């Protein structure tokens, strides 16, 4: 009986000694600075499941792009990868937020190897979802996309469903669309949301 007890004791002692080290190694690093949205939460990926087939992911990393080195407000870059090879019409990166009344425009800086349609989809205080679309055209360069929030917005559903934004905006998504792209797979990097 002494040998099994000795083995068990040795195993427990080893586990106790290695446990804290393993926990320390698994502890996440400090979160990256936000991309500029108020009350910005975690960014998540959405594959547009109503049109099956799209794949992708969203990743965040510290800014190491020399083209943005002169802008101290750009500390974090988010990259939305997409693959429409097997179908789908769009993918999105989305986050909770709290954009206040009086905001008339949202701007965001983006870059990609491929031009194509990009939109933002916002959810207002009533649960209404509204979509504003533009296009990224400066392949390989950083471009500021502008999304005006004034007036009635044509593309909307849910909530009050009247095309008017009822502040505060509680959720924001950045969408990459399949249409008009030369290749079905790629990525778009974005940063520095600005509210005007």
Token pair listed for 116? 């194509």
CATH number for the domain harbouring residue 155: 2.60.120.260
Residues 142-162: tens digit of each pLDDT:
999 999 999 999 999 999 999
On the question of pLDDT at 5 being above 60, the answer is no
15 inside domain: no
Q: pTM here?
A: 0.84
7 inside domain: no
- Name the average pLDDT for the chain: 89
Mean pLDDT score, 163-185: 97
Residues 38 and 44: their CA atoms lie apart, in Å, by 17
130 within 8 A of 184, measured Cβ to Cβ: no
Residues 72-113: tens digit of each pLDDT:
999 999 999 999 999 999 999 999 999 999 999 999 999 999
Domain total for the chain? 1
Residues 187 and 80: their CA atoms lie apart, in Å, by 5
27 inside domain: no
């Amino acid at each position: 009986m002494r040998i099994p007890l000795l083995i068990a004791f040795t195993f427990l002692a080893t586990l106790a000694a290695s446990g804290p080290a393993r926990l320390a190694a698994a502890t996440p690093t400090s979160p990256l600075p936000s991309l500029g949205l108020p009350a910005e939460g975690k960014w998540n990926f959405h594959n547009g499941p109503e049109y099956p087939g799209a794949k992708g992911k969203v990743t965040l990393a510290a800014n190491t792009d020399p083209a943005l080195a002169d802008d101290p407000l750009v500390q974090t870059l988010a990259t939305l990868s997409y693959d429409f090879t097997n179908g789908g019409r769009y993918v999105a990166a989305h986050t909770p937020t709290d954009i206040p009344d009086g905001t008339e425009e949202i701007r965001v800086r983006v870059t990609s190897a491929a031009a194509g349609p990009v939109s933002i989809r916002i959810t207002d205080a009533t649960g209404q979802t509204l979509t504003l679309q533009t296009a990224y055209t400066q392949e390989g360069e950083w471009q500021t996309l502008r999304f005006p929030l004034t007036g009635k917005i044509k593309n909307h559903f849910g909530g009050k469903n009247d095309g008017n934004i009822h502040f505060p905006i509680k959720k924001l998504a950045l969408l990459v669309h399949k249409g008009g792209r030369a290749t079905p797979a790629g990525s778009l990097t974005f940063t520095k949301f600005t509210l005007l």
